[in-house]
Structure 1
């Protein structure tokens, strides 16, 4: 029988899958759930040594002689302290020792709990990896435990690791041990095997995260991969991948116009992710369907980023190297998956535009010259350009890593420093973001720099999330409503040429000047209404969602409206 606690099951399952046979066990309560589970499992060879210091040294000697990783386990508190000398010795020799230390729940620390000390990082620099495992009482904790144990057991090839696991109720009710997901780092991949595995998937989705600079080689490789494996290549402008040679599936569109339920029809059976962070909500649709696909991550950092909760393979190499290797095939792919997505994207519907941030960004983005540099601030400034047809040669940046409103102007100025001053560079920003970083306008701006500031006198994202129907006081504090013109902000630098547009006609007249050559940097402020901005985006989403979900949303809005009116009458 195995312990009922999930973190114990995960440890045991992954120890098996990583080929760990030898376990040196010392008696105690906190580790008894693990001890009894492994002592009755024929896949393990167990040794009983009462003194923890001796047990750790015994494990070290067994590791040296066998050439295999060896685990050793003890209860909490001072018992775990006795492992330090052997772990220090193993660190010097880079031996694969696995310290499995039982612990009590973290919230009991320093609360007069018996036999409990702080076991976090207790072996310090002598361990090449440490993790603290929660009990695994819900799906989030289970997912976390799976990732952390995989990371630890991968790291043990570089020296000793500590897996510190929390235990409370100890019961043995599980007859058959579940098999939990192993994550394999492909340090030396067998490319014939990789190509064979790829050929078994019918629905491959390649997600291109943020990358720069642009790579024509990667663009060509992705096009070739798409043809040979029938893969859909999902990009946004911040991927900086030229998609003229393949069907560009827009990360933002595909996610925001579908509910997780709608996404089921388009769900891949393999996701390959390259690049860095991406903003798109497709990650939530994938998480909601995570049992239906495997995830391969291709990145030089080799990190176990398991954002979709389905990671199985990590390739710690450049994307160009990966696709060069797997494209060396005569594979003939089915067009079915690409056709499915093409039909979806060909039928994306756009609302009849009112003057709003949606229409403004459409007009500006479509007019940006080839080979320009563009930096967008977060949320709508990042979201809305991806619905447009920006020139593929434009290099696009955004602070997507932390997705913060602050510092976007300064980041753009830094990006422009080594950029060709004969080419245009653009910042697309909202009012609050520009106000945040306004002191940077005191810096020297060159004549080819352009700032589009869309001013709706509030944090527009909060009008999308809440609306004044549900929160009449929305602009008081949540959306940080204000009455500041960006003209006043820009006035701190008299070298900036200022243009203002409050209507579509005024914007149409301003765009040629904004794009043309000038002796000064230009700031174009366009005044919009936050409610209208939010409304246009909501209509766009509604037009592209399933009929049932759309009707549900309509009914929800009507009920809200009725409730607000009733509240006003009272």
Structure 2
């Protein structure tokens, strides 16, 4: 007899089924219902799954407990909407306290229907603390972003079944009651696997393609971790991609933002097969892309920053790199090639307008030895990330919350802890004025140097590549912050700083800046803390960013740009806009 029903066309359900198979889960206890129809019908003709029926959901959950305890393997329970899932609670409570891997998949028409007097629509958004190690929602899939979200969330719940000794988990899965079961081959879904320090054997490092270590914000590396990472890179011909918050200053440090940021040219080294991801949030916009990412962190969380997470290593970073590194490695080929490319790019850099980036370019090699650099969000961090810091200098930035509100205070707090160490802070006007009260703190010492880049508006919103750039001057009304804080007054900060006991310096162009920068960066502790206020222009800041991101143009891009410019000359802006709208219809 010809099979009539295959897999549902509901992509979110397909993802959950595919991931159950990828993680080796094949036992299911299904309770009757309509809302879980797309899931149950999809699996009942798949020979991978072994299915039992239980009319009573309370009994089904306890059946799963017995089966999981007996086999030591996860068991899925599936039910419809209404109060069916409430009857799972006693059995899931038993599973929680016995650490039994029971996965409850409850089906729903969606949270948007909760609270509107719709039949069989109960609220599962908040569950008791002791019935699931992890509870996730799997919505309908409309695009690739939804698909990625469903993959990560489903993996998260499945992996929780064995995390920290194991226990139950919960997936609340949307459905639209599709009657289309014509999908004969289950589409692939990306499984994520977790490995712990207790695993005797870890997966092999793939040897086909480049390997990079990407470090987000990270505490300064210990000697042990630096040694382990360096040995790993020597073994696999890898490099360590950093920004100034990464904390790594070892042999394989590469600051690749200048190369990867290019908009009209693509480096052959800008793609890797495998990325080892450590650290936290990064302020680095311009990363090497990778086919797969392995995340290493003691927290074991699924942090899918790049959308290609495949494995999570729940262990200390030192443990990971030491277990993979070999003592006989001595590779530096990729490091040498990428470093040479960065140096070649620096040689081609044009003379930039007077701006945050220009100042970073001309200050970086003058920074006092062993000082600590603090950078404001966001333009200051990005500007300085284009240039590698001298040896011995570490940098910090509040990339955790990624807000402008506390950078100056954070630097001051660090300076209080080490009064004999020099601290240099680079902040834009919004970040400075937002946090200026700490400038008057009575504990501020003579080890503080503040560079305030005052463009009078928060230039980020007016930079050429910002989403609000198209607004032009209109952005100054309410999107940016033009006109606040003295509107580039040359007296406001000067009087404030000098009255508070600071040595005040200022500059409005390159010549004036060159006259004061050596004083600002003098390596000796001075009698007073210093504040250098530099006034820049909106167009100069945006132009500098555009120029540094377009140093090289490949031949294909030149042709495209020529065609675009010619079309614009012939048709004008209105004609180009009309064609774009017509093509979207």
TM-score by length of 2: 0.88
Of 255, 269, 276, the residue aligned with 1:272 is 276
Q: Report the Cα distance in structure 2 between the residues aligned to 1:59 and 1:117, rounded to whole angstroms.
A: 23
Q: Report the Cα distance in structure 2 between the residues aligned to 1:553 and 1:107, rounded to whole angstroms.
A: 46
Aligned positions of 1:70-149 closer than 5 A: 70-149=75-154
Q: Report the Cα distance in structure 1 between the residues aligned to 2:490 and 2:412, rounded to whole angstroms.
A: 18
- Residue 389 of structure 2: aligned partner: 390
Instruction: Report whether the alignment pairs 1:519 with 2:527.
Output: yes
C-alpha deviation, 1:230, in angstroms: 1.4
Q: Report the Cα distance in structure 2 between the residues aligned to 1:364 and 1:542, rounded to whole angstroms.
A: 22
C-alpha deviation, 1:365, in angstroms: 2.7
Q: Which moved more, 1:218-227 or 1:43-52?
A: 218-227
Q: Report the Cα distance in structure 2 between the residues aligned to 1:135 and 1:161, rounded to whole angstroms.
A: 20
Q: Report the Cα distance in structure 2 between the residues aligned to 1:468 and 1:29, rounded to whole angstroms.
A: 50
- Residue 409 of structure 1: aligned partner: 408
Please state whether the residue corresponding to 2:540 is helix, strand or coil: helix
Aligned positions of 1:21-420 closer than 5 A: 21-157=26-162, 158-170=166-178, 171-188=180-197, 194=203, 197-198=204-205, 200-243=207-250, 245-246=251-252, 248-258=253-263, 262=266, 266-282=270-286, 286=289, 293-330=291-328, 335=333, 337-338=334-335, 341-342=338-339, 344-348=341-345, 349-419=348-418
Q: Report the Cα distance in structure 1 between the residues aligned to 2:467 and 2:35, rounded to whole angstroms.
A: 47
C-alpha deviation, 1:312, in angstroms: 1.1
C-alpha deviation, 1:251, in angstroms: 4.3
Contact 1:133 1:164 in 2 (8 A): yes
Q: Report the Cα distance in structure 2 between the residues aligned to 1:334 and 1:499, rounded to whole angstroms.
A: 44
C-alpha deviation, 1:342, in angstroms: 4.2
C-alpha deviation, 1:190, in angstroms: 5.9
C-alpha deviation, 1:512, in angstroms: 2.3
Q: Report the Cα distance in structure 1 between the residues aligned to 2:378 and 2:49, rounded to whole angstroms.
A: 52
TM-score by length of 1: 0.90
C-alpha deviation, 1:88, in angstroms: 1.4
Contact 1:258 1:546 in 2 (8 A): no
Residue by residue over 1:172-191, the C-alpha shift from the partner in whole angstroms, topping out at 9 and shown as x without a partner, is: 11111223221111114767
Please state whether the residue corresponding to 1:295 is helix, strand or coil: strand
C-alpha deviation, 1:264, in angstroms: 7.1
C-alpha deviation, 1:355, in angstroms: 2.2
C-alpha deviation, 1:487, in angstroms: 4.9
Q: Report the Cα distance in structure 2 between the residues aligned to 1:466 and 1:53, rounded to whole angstroms.
A: 52
Q: When the two structures are aligned, how many residues end up with a matched partner?
A: 553
Please state whether the residue corresponding to 1:301 is helix, strand or coil: coil
Aligned positions of 1:383-532 closer than 5 A: 383-419=382-418, 421-444=419-442, 445-464=444-463, 465=466, 471-482=472-483, 483-485=487-489, 487-489=491-493, 491-492=495-496, 493-516=499-522, 517-532=525-540
Change (3 A) 1:389 1:39: closer
C-alpha deviation, 1:469, in angstroms: 7.7
Aligned positions of 1:544-555 closer than 5 A: 544-549=552-557
Change (3 A) 1:555 1:422: farther
Please state whether the residue corresponding to 1:297 is helix, strand or coil: strand
C-alpha deviation, 1:265, in angstroms: 6.3
* Consecutive unaligned residues in structure 1, runs of 5 or more: 565-570
C-alpha deviation, 1:496, in angstroms: 1.5
C-alpha deviation, 1:530, in angstroms: 1.4
Contact 1:487 1:525 in 2 (8 A): no
- Residue 567 of structure 1: aligned partner: none
C-alpha deviation, 1:132, in angstroms: 0.6
Contact 1:2 1:37 in 2 (8 A): yes
Contact 2:256 2:342 in 1 (8 A): no
Instruction: Report whether the alignment pairs 1:2 with 2:4.
Output: no
Change (3 A) 1:161 1:373: same
Q: Report the Cα distance in structure 2 between the residues aligned to 1:115 and 1:510, rounded to whole angstroms.
A: 72
Q: Which moved more, 1:160-169 or 1:16-25?
A: 16-25
C-alpha deviation, 1:411, in angstroms: 1.4
Please state whether the residue corresponding to 1:172 is helix, strand or coil: coil
Please state whether the residue corresponding to 1:526 is helix, strand or coil: strand
Change (3 A) 1:379 1:468: closer
Contact 2:213 2:240 in 1 (8 A): yes
Q: Report the Cα distance in structure 2 between the residues aligned to 1:229 and 1:416, rounded to whole angstroms.
A: 39
Please state whether the residue corresponding to 1:354 is helix, strand or coil: coil
Aligned positions of 1:12-27 closer than 5 A: 12-27=17-32
Please state whether the residue corresponding to 1:473 is helix, strand or coil: helix
